[in-house]
Amino acid sequence: MPLRDMSNKSRTGCGLLVFRVYGSDTAAGNLTGIVELDRSRSDQQLQGLAARLGYPDTGFVLASPGCRFIRSFSPTEHLAFCSQTVLALAARLASAGELHPGTAVEIATDAGNVVVEADSNDDAKFWMHIRVGTENTVGGPEELCRLLGVDDDDAGPEIVTGFGRKRAYIELGSAQSLLDVRASPRAILSYCRSRGINGICPFHSPLPGRIHMRVFTTSLEGREDASTGGAVAALPLYFETVERHAQIVTWKVEQGVGPASGRGCLYVKRRAFGGDVSVGGEVKLVSAGDLSDTLGIIDP
């Protein structure tokens, strides 16, 4: 459905803020756009603008009394839920004095409402509280391991679950197996479409409370993403399903491989058993300005 203008403010033009989400000293995270629209735009226009901007994720927002409503798009598809755009919007609210350390606000998305919170101790860190739920499908690891080009001897089950976007998760037996993952974007897309899912998430846990993870997603046409909060959110449920790590509350997740530009740093906390979690990370403003329509990117 088109994004409806719920604001009483009169504005001219569209603002663009660019944030770096889920970064750290050693990981670049993802550039994420927040477009502040002056009026309603159709889904086709929003998708076209997201494609022209080219960020992995772009959120479109209009002010709403008492809450915020954000719609998210990758360059190729609509995202019912996107943690990067939600946390980037939280950082925008904080910079505007509408969200203070240790306090929370509610943001509405196409997948439902999400509560976001500014960290009490770190003004660059934000959290979102979501309920992934317990719905999941458990299967053997053989077929997914064949797709990824790794041995299934020490792999855990393939579990399909998620909030907003369903993904297939599989725990691999070693860090080397995770590095060895090889699958073409075309093969990833084919596998996802055949199962009605949006991504594939192999991971390895080298130590209690630490996870190394890779995420291949339909939102990037089967390519690997550097940081994906929605994917990280389901990790506690995976361990709950296989009855492991019940004593662990917080995990640090290092996503991606290779240079810093392809990696992110995220955190996930179990708030309660049954898929009630918080996902957080660093969010920093990179640039802010106005969108020019001289190339017709706003109203093609």
| DSSP β-bridge partners for residue 175 | none
Could you tell me if residue 159 is inside a domain? yes
Predicted confidence at residue 13, as pLDDT, reads 67
Q: What is the pLDDT of residues 174-231, one digit of tens each?
A: 999 999 999 999 999 999 999 999 999 999 999 999 999 999 999 999 999 999 999 9
Residue 191 domain-assigned (yes or no) = yes
Residue 292: per-residue pLDDT:
67
Task: Please report the pLDDT score of residue 298 as a whole number.
Answer: 54
3 within some domain: no
Whether 132 is covered by a domain: the verdict is: no
pLDDT tens column, 228-279: 999 999 999 999 999 988 899 999 999 999 899 999 999 999 999 988 999 9
Residues in CB range of 62: below 8 A, 6 or more apart: 3, 4, 5, 6, 7, 36, 37, 40, 69
Residues 275 and 145 in one domain: yes
pTM (two decimals) = 0.87
Encode pLDDT of 103-128 as tens digits. 999 999 998 899 999 999 999 999 99
Q: Is the pLDDT of residue 9 over 50?
A: no
Question: Based on the domain organization, do 99 and 146 belong to the same domain?
Answer: no
Residue 160 lies in a domain: yes
* CATH number, domain with residue 81: 3.10.310.10
The answer on 205 and 80 residing in a single domain is no
pLDDT score for 293: 56
8 found inside a domain = no
If one counts the domains in the chain, the total is 2
Q: What is the pLDDT of residue 134?
A: 87
- 110 and 231 inside one domain: no
Tokens representing 207?
């130590």
- How high is the pLDDT of residue 67? 54
Domain residues for 174?
137-283
- Any domain includes 196: yes
Classify residue 206: in a domain, yes or no: yes
Within 10 Å of residue 135's Cβ, how many Cβ atoms? 12
8 pLDDT more than 50: no
Average pLDDT in the 119-146 region?
A: 94
User: What pLDDT is stored for residue 290 in this prediction?
Assistant: 86
User: In terms of domains, do 86 and 52 share one?
Assistant: yes
Same domain, 26 and 154: no
Looking at the predicted structure, is the pLDDT value of residue 6 above 90?
Answer: no
Residues 23 and 161 in one domain: no
Same domain, 149 and 237: yes
Pairing relation of β-strands 199-207 and 167-171?
parallel
The per-residue pLDDT for 162 is 86
161 and 233, same domain (yes or no)? yes
Claim to verify: residue 109 and residue 189 sit in the same structural domain: no
Of the two residues 181 and 8, the one the predictor is more confident about is: 181
- Return the H-helix or E-strand segment holding 298: none
Spell out a b/e string for 268-291, using b for 16 or more CB atoms within 10 Å of the CB, else e: bbbeeeebbbbbbbbbeeeeeeeb
* Cα distance from N-terminal residue to C-terminal residue, the chain: 19
Q: Same structural domain for residues 101 and 173?
A: no
96 shares its domain with 26 = yes
pLDDT at 68: 86
Contact 34, 53 (CB under 8 A): no
